[in-house]
Homo-oligomer: A and B are copies of this chain.
Amino acid sequence: MKDIARHAGVSQSAVSFALNGRPGVSEDTRDRVRQVAEELGWRPSTAARALSGEGAATVGFVLARPADTLGVDSFFLQLVSGIQEVLAERHLGLLFQVVEDIADECAVYRRWWAEHRVDGVLVVDPRTADPRPDLLDELGLPAVVIGGAPDERHPGLSTVWADDAGAMASVVDGLYALGHRRIVHIAGLPGLAHTERRIRTLRAEAERRGLTGVRSVTTDYSDAEGAAVTRRVLESADPPTALIYDNDVMAVAGAAAAAELDRSVPADVSVVSWEDSALCRMVKPWLSALSRDSVEFGRTAARELTALLDGGPARTVRVPVPQLIERGSTGAAREA
C-alpha cells in the first residue's frame, strides 16, 4: 500500500479509503489508486486485515470422524462443494479439520477462536446431547448448525435442516400403501439428532397405525454392520418385508446380503436408501432412494453463516424434504 501511495502521489490512508470504498477521496483519486493497485497486483494481506479488526475472512469446518470411517461418503464432499461456492464469492476461506471425536472438535473451536483464525463455523452431525451449542454460545463464535432441529435454547445459533420426520412419514406411507406391515429401519449412529428424529417418527407412525412389527436398529453406517443387521433381521422369526437404510452404503450392502440369503428384492423384501448416489444405481435392481440436493444444502448453510457474519439475526431455515425416487427395489409386499 505504501508503494501504491507513492505511485499515485497520495498518502497511505487515501489509498485505504479509495480501495475500500470509504468516503474521503475524490472519484478521480479513487480511480487512479484503483488502477495503480491493479498494475502492482496488490492484494490485501489477510493477516494485517484481521489484525486491524476486520476478522479473519475465514470460516471453519470440523469433521469429527475416526480416519477409517471416512469411507464411501459422497455427502460431505458435495456439501463442502456447495459451501465453497458461496464462500468463494465473498473471498472467504474455508479452514477444514478432521478430528477423532466431539471433545477434540470442541478443542479445535476453542483454539480457532482464541487464535482469531475464523470468524464463524459450520457444525455438522448434531447430536441429541451435544456439548457444542453451549460451547459456541459461551465463546460467542458465530455458527450454523447443519442438520439439527430448531433449538430455542440457543438463540444465537442459526440452523439449517431438512424435515426428516416428514420424509420418514411419507416413506412409511408409501410402504404401508404397498401392503408392508413389518418394516425395519436400519438407522445410523445412535445419538445423532437426525437418527433419533427418524427413529421417533417411525415409532410414532407405527403406533398411529397399530403396527407392532416395526422397529429401528442403530448401526455405525458401515457396509459391514448394514449387511450384518440385514442378515439378522431377515433370518429372525418374523422377518420384515421392507427395509429402510439410513445411508446408501448400508442399503447396497444390505441388498447384497439379502441376495445371499436368497431373498429377492423387491419380491421378498423392499429396500429404501436414505441417501441417493451413484451407488444406488450400481446394484440390480437399482435402489429406490431419498434424494436431496446436498450441494444446495451446503450453499444454504454457507449463506446463513455469511448473513450471521454480516451482523444478521440467527435464523432457522428448512431445506426441501428429500424426495423418494422410486426405482426397482420397492414393490408390493408378499402375502404373509
Q: Is the CB of B98 within 8 A of A93?
A: no
Closest B residue by C-beta to A95: B93
A281 sits at the interface (CB 8 A): yes
Give Cα A93 to B58, complex, Å: 11
Mask, A110-140, CB within 8 Å of B = 1, is 0100111100000000000000000000000
A51 at the interface (CB under 8 A from B): yes
Could you tell me if B72 and A279 are in contact, using CB atoms closer than 8 angstroms? yes
Q: How far is the CA of A279 from the CA of B277 in the complex (A)?
A: 13
Please measure, in the bound complex, the distance between the C-alpha atom of A203 and the C-alpha atom of B85, giving whole angstroms: 41
Q: Is the CB of B77 within 8 A of A44?
A: no
What are the residues of chain B within 8 A of A80 when measuring CB–CB? 96, 98
* A50 proximal to B (CB < 8 A): yes
Asked whether A84 and B98 contact (CB < 8 A) given A47-B51, A56-B47, A256-B284, the answer is yes
The yes or no answer to A45 lying at the interface (CB within 8 A) is yes
Known: A95-B94, A253-B282, A278-B223. A72 touches B72 (CB 8 A): yes
Question: In the complex, A84→B96 CA distance in Å?
Answer: 9
Tally chain A residues at the interface, Cβ within 8 Å. Answer: 59
In the complex, what residue of chain B is closest to A256 when comparing beta carbons? B282
Residues B281 and A223 in contact, CB atoms below 8 Å apart: yes
When all copies of this chain in the complex are counted, the total is: 2
Complex: A84 Cα to B259 Cα, angstroms: 39
Query: Which chain B residue lies CB-closest to A85?
Result: B67
Residue of B nearest to A61 (CB): B96
Knowing A67-B295, A78-B67, A95-B58, the reply to whether A115 touches B43 (Cβ < 8 A) is: yes
Given A81-B98, A95-B95, A284-B256, A111-B279 contact (CB < 8 Å): no
In this assembly, does A10 line the interface, its C-beta being within 8 Å of a C-beta of chain B?
Answer: no
Does A159 sit at the interface, judged by CB under 8 A? no
A170 within 8 A of B: no
What residue in chain B is nearest A260 (Cβ atoms)? Answer: B284
Evaluate contact between B116 and A46: CB separation under 8 angstroms. Answer: yes
The docked-state distance in angstroms from the alpha carbon of A45 to that of B113 is 9
| Complex Cα gap A283–B94 (Å) | 37
Q: Which residues of B contact A46 (CB under 8 A)?
A: 47, 50, 56, 115-117
Q: How far is the CA of A202 from the CA of B114 in the complex (A)?
A: 54
Judge if A306 is at the interface, Cβ distance under 8 Å: no
Check A71 for interface membership: any CB of B closer than 8 A: yes
Q: Which of A58, A95, A114, A115 has the most CB of B within 10 A?
A: A115
Which parts of A18-73 form the interface with B (CB within 8 Å)?
41-51, 56, 58, 61, 67-68, 70-73
Q: Please, how many angstroms separate the alpha-carbon atoms of A232 and B256 in the complex? A: 27
A97 interface residue per 8 A CB criterion? yes
User: Which of chain B's residues have a CB closer than 8 A to the CB of A45?
Assistant: 50-51, 115-116
List 6 extra interface pairs beyond A93-B117, A96-B96, A252-B282, CB under 8 A.
Answer: A45-B51, A70-B74, A70-B81, A71-B74, A72-B72, A95-B95
